[in-house]
Amino acid sequence: MKENKNISGFKTPENYFESFEERLYSKLSEENFPKSAGFKAPDGYFDNLGEQILKTVIASEKPAKVIQLFPKKYFGYAAAIAASVIIGFTVFNTNSDNSSLDSLQLAAIDTYIEDGNLNLDIYDLTTFINDEDITDLKLEDHQFSETTLENYILENVDEETLINEQ
């Protein structure tokens, strides 16, 4: 088996490659080809050929009609539709809240004022309160102890203000 391992199974006749060139040239010799080409152009055909081609090209030239891929009128239509859709969404969008202040929590507003971010003193705040707002307050419902009220007054009111009130 080892001996037959590199044998391809194809054989060439003896002296095949040595006489190959001679056999090829003998088959391709000029004697086997025809003497004439088989096609013949009329006399003087190539002398006037350029002029004839130019005459036919110039005669057949017509202005070509150009059709635009996206005509300008369609851009106007698209812009009008887009504008109407945007206006429709802004006008008829009723899902959102009317005011962003409504969604704020009162505790967040109190914290903002207490941190000193709002530069208002007591006199500025009283301009926003009407007499009706004061009468609507029901102080009887709120039960404050006397000690709580005393501590609040002592911490937040000046002595000069207390003296002026008496």
pLDDT tens figures, 18-69: 888 888 887 777 666 667 777 888 888 888 888 888 888 887 777 778 787 8
pLDDT at 88 over 70: yes
Residue 133, in any domain of the structure: yes
Report the distance separating Cα 86 and Cα 78, nearest Å.
Answer: 12
Report the distance separating Cα 116 and Cα 112, nearest Å.
Answer: 7
Residue 12, in any domain of the structure: no
Q: What pLDDT is recorded for position 3? A: 65
Residue 67, in any domain of the structure: no
Residue 137, in any domain of the structure: yes
pLDDT at 154 over 70: yes
pLDDT at 72 over 70: yes
Number of domains in the chain: 1
Return mean pLDDT, the chain: 78
pLDDT at 97 over 60: no
Average of pLDDT values for 9-20? 83
Q: pTM for the full model? A: 0.23
Residue 137 belongs to domain spanning: 120-166
Between 96 and 152, residue with greater pLDDT: 152
pLDDT at 139 over 80: no
Q: What pLDDT is recorded for position 96? A: 56
Residue 136, in any domain of the structure: yes
Residue of 159, 138, 157 whose CA lies nearest to 149: 157
Residue 161, in any domain of the structure: yes
Residue 107, in any domain of the structure: no
Residue 151, in any domain of the structure: yes
Q: Which residues of 110-128 are buried (b: 16+ CB within 10 A; e: fewer)?
A: eeeeeeeeeeeeeeeeeee
